[in-house]
Structures are given as C-alpha cells and as structure tokens.
C-alpha cells in the first residue's frame, strides 16, 4: 500500500527521506490515477527498502500541487535528497508506467551496486546480484 502524504507530513516523509521518493499526485475523479495505483503498490512492495512511494491527493493539498506546478493528473515526481530528479506528467497508461518503473528500479539497483562495488568486497557483490 502506498503511503498517503499531506502538506503537514510532506517534509518528514518526502524531503527528509533517507531514500529516494516517488510522489504520485492524484485525485479521486482521475480514472488513470486509480488505474495505476496497483502498479505503484506493487512497485513499493518490490523496492520498499530502496525507494519510497507516496500518494498525495492534489485536490486536498492545493499548496503542494501548486508548488510543483501541476498541470495534469496523474503526475509522478521522483525526488532524491529532497530534489526532483525526474517528472512524468503525460502518462498514457499502465504499460508506459510499468516501463518507467522498471527504469527507476534498474537505476537504483545500479546505484546500490556501484556504492557496494566501491568497497569491492565479495559479500557486497553477491548482495547486488541478489537485489
């Protein structure tokens, strides 16, 4: 299940997160938003220790929606150390999202392996292969 975040919890859950955060801006009336929610939940369960996924209801959190200059929903923003790294605001469906989530997963698996590779221990190499 994707963590629900609002204006009061945004700083703690997103900006101060020790791991990258994929923010899903959505609204109850948005059909595609509801359609992609299961993929995001699945992604969270697969990558929960490397990437956090949060959902923000744009209708109820107008200040956040406005600060990220949302023009369409759903909008997904990947933040690392509180800074936007990537943004998707023209998703056309589940398959496009699935492909983008796979790219994110590979990116952070490679980053994890690069960091572990710097220590060049045999154990770290195997941890990367199993990740």
Residues labelled catalytic: 30, 33
From 100, 96, 105, 99, select the one nearest 32 (Cα to Cα).
Answer: 96
Structural tokens at position 106: 């590979």
**In the chain, count of helices (H) and strands (E)?**
5, 5
Structural tokens at position 124: 């770290």
Query: How many CA within 13 A on the CB side of residue 55?
Result: 20
**DSSP 3-state assignment of 54?**
strand
Instruction: Give the alpha-carbon dihedral of 95, 106, 130, 83, to 10 degrees.
Output: -120
């Amino acid at each position: 299940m994707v963590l629900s975040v609002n204006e009061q919890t945004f700083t703690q859950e997103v900006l101060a997160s020790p791991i990258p955060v994929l923010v899903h801006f959505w609204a109850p009336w948005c059909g595609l938003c509801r359609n992609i929610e299961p993929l995001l939940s699945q992604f969270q369960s697969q990558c929960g220790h490397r990437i956090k996924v949060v959902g923000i209801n744009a209708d109820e959190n107008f200040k956040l929606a406005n600060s990220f200059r949302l023009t369409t929903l759903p909008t997904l923003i990947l933040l690392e150390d509180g800074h936007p790294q990537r943004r998707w605001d023209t998703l056309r469906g589940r398959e496009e999202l699935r492909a983008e989530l796979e790219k994110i997963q590979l990116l952070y698996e490679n980053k994890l392996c690069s960091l572990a590779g710097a220590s060049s221990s045999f154990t770290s190499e195997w941890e990367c292969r199993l990740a």
